[in-house]
Amino acid sequence: MKALVLAAGKGTRFTSSRDVHFGSPQAPAHKCLSQIEQRCVIEFSLDAAIEQGVDELVLVVGYLAETIRATYGDAYRGVPITYAYQTEQRGLVHAMLCGREALGTADFWLFLGDEVLVDANHQPMQQAFDEEEAFLVCGMVPTTDVERIRKNYTLAFDENSRQIWRLVEKPLRPFTPYIGTGHCLFRNEILRYIDLMPNDARTGNKELAGLIQYAIDVGEKVLCHSFDETFHYVNINTYEDYLKLEAVLIGDLVR
- The CA distance from 234 to 246, in Å, is 11
> Which residues, in sequence order, are bridge partners of residue 237?
none
Q: What is the pLDDT of residue 255?
A: 44
The span from the CA of 62 to the CA of 68, in Å, is: 9
Residue burial 161-196, b: 16+ Cβ < 10 Å; e: rest? ebebeebbbbbeebebebbbbbbbbbbeebbebeee
Q: What is the mean pLDDT of residues 219-241?
A: 93
pLDDT digits (tens, 9 = 90+) for 113-148: 999 999 899 999 999 999 999 999 999 999 999 999
The predicted-structure confidence for 37-65, as pLDDT tens digits, reads as follows 789 999 999 999 999 999 999 999 999 99
Residue 252 — pLDDT band, cuts 50, 70, 90? low
pLDDT of residue 24: 78
- What pLDDT is stored for residue 254 in this prediction? 45
Q: Chain-wide mean pLDDT for the chain?
A: 93
Structural domains of the chain, ranges and CATH numbers in brackets: 1-117+235-255 (3.90.550.10), 120-230 (3.90.550.10)
Task: Return d(Cα 205, Cα 238) in angstroms, integer.
Answer: 22
Residues 6 or more apart whose Cβ sits within 8 Å of residue 87: 62
Confidence of residue 163 (pLDDT cuts 50, 70, 90): very high
Return the pLDDT at 20.
81
**Angstrom distance (rounded) from CA 56 to CA 79:** 6
Percent with pLDDT over 90 in the chain: 80
| Spatial separation of the C-alpha atoms in residues 125 and 233, rounded to whole Å | 17
Is the CB of residue 85 less than 8 Å from the CB of residue 7? no
β-partners of residue 168 are: 154
Burial class (CB in 10 A: 0-12, 13-18, 19+), 246: middle
